Structure 1
Amino acid sequence: MIRSLLCCFTFLAMAPSALAGGISIGNDSGTQVFTLRQGTTVVKFAPAAGANAYSIRVDDVEYLRQPESLDKLPGVGFGNPVLYPTPNRVKNAAFEFDGKTVRFQPNAGANFIHGLVNRHTWKFVRSGSDSDSASVTCVADFRDGTELHSQFPFPHQLFLTVTVTDAAVRWTYTVDNSEGKTAVPFGFALHPYFVYQGRRENTYLKIPATHWMESENQLPSGALVPKEALDYPLGEFMSLEGTSFDDVFWGLTPDQPTVIEYRDVNRRITIKASEAFTHLVVWTPDRPYFGIESQTCSTDAHNLHAAGKTAESHLQICQPGQSLSGWVEYRFGD
């Protein structure tokens, strides 16, 4: 059934006249691009380049770092890459789960970083639009016999829907293990490359976490340090001037959003997420962009979970016959 639907929707993708309303399809450097519009919000989404919603323009202002051409988009470095099934680093590029050892090709020293799907060619599933929203759904297939399964041998499918409404963008993921016979251990995250709007010193961030995760070389130990013990105001607005974060924070809840304020230009991004997103990675290098990475789990979650740090890691486990979903939403305003 799924395959027949995919064939049908792939046909629709090749017929732009069938996709009226807030969605149009084009081609850039050989990459198919869906442009989703609602109100003054325009999002460009490339399923074949890692399912990267790489451009978000609101009131004609671009919020994400752009590549010179789309052949440079797959992977990380631009737009808003998807990190799955292992957000950020995996220590020594390996982990054990349920008696099975999984090894990755190291790509960050001895470690593995940023998961498998941001370079993957996702498949278009469907699209739709009405007077309030426009959305596109695509899928990364980890079932037996696929390239992704050979690297992460837990058969399942990952569906991703990007939905655009006026002044907001939402990513909804579904890990579909409904036909599986083994549990799927995973984490899902987004890695936005937000560009500064105005001066860095007047860019403020509120991290609504309760704890910082102690780490060494960006690999958390599992120890949680309460915000009262830190020398910066976690949970309150702080300027990004002089910061050099590459850190994991713990204890986020849906009722407390993360907020970025560009005070020079009176713009704001409010980042909301579903209950699964308990962790946040904040990355503020000495560059004209920064990362505020919503995560369902800690960095190196699989190894922390194996070490008994279940609450600290918050590794997601999708059991056979089950599907798990969650979402992240960016809302733009002044």
Structure 2
Amino acid sequence: MTTTNIQGPFSAEVARNEELATTVLSLSYIDNLHPEHSMVASIAPELGSNLFSFRVGKHELIYHDPNLLRQRDFTGDFVLWPFPNRVRDKRYTFAGKQYSLEKRACPSGNYPLVHGLVFDRSWNYQQPIVEAAAASVTTSIAIDKDSPFYDGYPFDSSLSLTYTLTKEGLRITYVVENKGSQTLPYGFALHPYFAQLSGPEQTFLSLPAKTVMEADTELLPTGRLLDVTGTMYAMFDLREPIPVSHLKLDHVYFDLQPGSAVIDYRQHGLQLVVGGTEDFTHAVIFTPGNTRDFFCLEHQTCSTDAINFNNQDEAHKKMAHLLELKPGATGTGTLSYTPRFTR
């Protein structure tokens, strides 16, 4: 069954996708005067609320492998909550209690990789809302005693994501609610696989960050910050656009400066400006050397292994930026994907 709602240039659709064998929520903006400015965002709520497609004109900006997506594997643009990235030894201490995430297994990656607890779960969704200037839809998921891995994260809570498409671009707003009786620790991130639309040599990336976190052999932060503005670590400096083909990264950037990350598809005269509210203090960049299809730019509200860094001194706590909510409280923030046309 397909449900469609249209108002002016905006529309929303709830439909069964046979290739993915799942429900897909689509938000559309049609610009009849400039078709290349039209946009469509597609989300698969039952596959982890994965934003697996964001099309601008004829161009797909998010890479996804349908086979991996059906398996709830790493592809598209998936959700990392409550612990983005890795947790050392899959163990942590919070408020004097020790917890283990050793039962959490990921489809790929090394042992400490957790990537949150919700990317491979089925989410709920509300009916889309279409207005004169926007189309939006909200998905949600809860963590409670019936959730997988609850013994490793026994904090009753919920996460909702509202995807809003306007003529300027796409916004994704998260809301975390603490539904329990104890303080809730968390971090939030999205993990987009951005397409190398212009190829690795003509797809450029810039990020206004002053430091990168040194990592050990398990890709966990050591606690040392490397200054990319100096000569010694200039190879990590992304303040000016660099072709993706020149980058060999799986690193966490910190000390983000005013401004946004920009992906510049130079052959296509198209840029994607990736921005976030001030709670997004870190960004992970991953450039796999074995593919020309994608690279990852992951804005996070915390560092890798933030839950353990938070137990150390004040410098490490600042570096961690672990977010906490008192019982009944909510936390919110927004990421934005804004196309910009250069010709």
Q: Same fold (TM over 0.5)?
A: yes
Contact 1:35 1:45 in 2 (8 A): yes
Aligned residues: 317
Match of 2:326 among 305, 315, 319: 319
Partner of 1:267: 270
Contact 1:214 1:221 in 2 (8 A): yes
Deviation at 1:129, TM superposition (A): 1.2
In the alignment, the residues of structure 2 paired with residue 325 and residue 149 of structure 1 have an alpha-carbon distance, to the nearest angstrom, of 23
Contact 2:180 2:327 in 1 (8 A): yes
In the alignment, the residues of structure 1 paired with residue 111 and residue 204 of structure 2 have an alpha-carbon distance, to the nearest angstrom, of 34
Contact 2:52 2:62 in 1 (8 A): yes
Contact 2:91 2:100 in 1 (8 A): yes
In the alignment, the residues of structure 2 paired with residue 111 and residue 140 of structure 1 have an alpha-carbon distance, to the nearest angstrom, of 24
Q: Which moved more, 1:61-70 or 1:96-105?
A: 61-70
Partner of 1:101: 98
In the alignment, the residues of structure 2 paired with residue 25 and residue 70 of structure 1 have an alpha-carbon distance, to the nearest angstrom, of 22
In the alignment, the residues of structure 1 paired with residue 285 and residue 51 of structure 2 have an alpha-carbon distance, to the nearest angstrom, of 20
Deviation at 1:148, TM superposition (A): 5.8
Identity of aligned residues (%): 31
Q: 1:16 to 1:311 in 2, by over 3 A?
A: same
Is 2:9 aligned against 1:33?
Answer: no
Partner of 2:247: 243
Deviation at 1:150, TM superposition (A): 4.3
Match of 1:24 among 13, 18, 22: 13
Report the AA paired with residue 264 of structure 2. Answer: E
TM-score by length of 2: 0.87
Is 2:56 aligned against 1:64?
Answer: no
CA RMSD of aligned residues (A): 1.9
Deviation at 1:147, TM superposition (A): 3.4
Deviation at 1:94, TM superposition (A): 1.4
Q: Which moved more, 1:164-173 or 1:242-251?
A: 164-173
Is 2:83 aligned against 1:86?
Answer: yes
Partner of 2:214: 214
Q: 1:93 to 1:70 in 2, by over 3 A?
A: closer
In the alignment, the residues of structure 1 paired with residue 306 and residue 68 of structure 2 have an alpha-carbon distance, to the nearest angstrom, of 31
The 5-angstrom pairing of residues 68-147 of structure 1 reads 68-69=66-67, 72=70, 74-76=72-74, 78-104=75-101, 105=103, 106-107=105-106, 108-147=109-148
Partner of 2:301: 296
SS of 1:92's equivalent in the other structure is: helix
Partner of 1:305: 310
Q: What runs of 5+ residues in structure 1 fail to find an aligned partner?
A: 1-13
TM-score by length of 1: 0.89
Contact 1:38 1:132 in 2 (8 A): no
Report the AA paired with residue 123 of structure 2. Answer: W
Match of 1:284 among 277, 287, 296: 287
SS of 1:210's equivalent in the other structure is: strand
In the alignment, the residues of structure 1 paired with residue 151 and residue 267 of structure 2 have an alpha-carbon distance, to the nearest angstrom, of 48
Moved segments of 4+, more than 4 Å: none
Contact 1:91 1:300 in 2 (8 A): yes
**Deviations for 1:24-75, whole angstroms, at most 9, x for unmatched residues?**
1111243111111013101111111101111011112111112235762523
Q: 1:199 to 1:112 in 2, by over 3 A?
A: closer
**Deviations for 1:289-332, whole angstroms, at most 9, x for unmatched residues?**
10000000011111111223110011111121210000100101
SS of 2:150's equivalent in the other structure is: helix
Deviation at 1:171, TM superposition (A): 0.9
Q: What runs of 5+ residues in structure 2 fail to find an aligned partner?
A: 31-37
Contact 2:2 2:15 in 1 (8 A): no
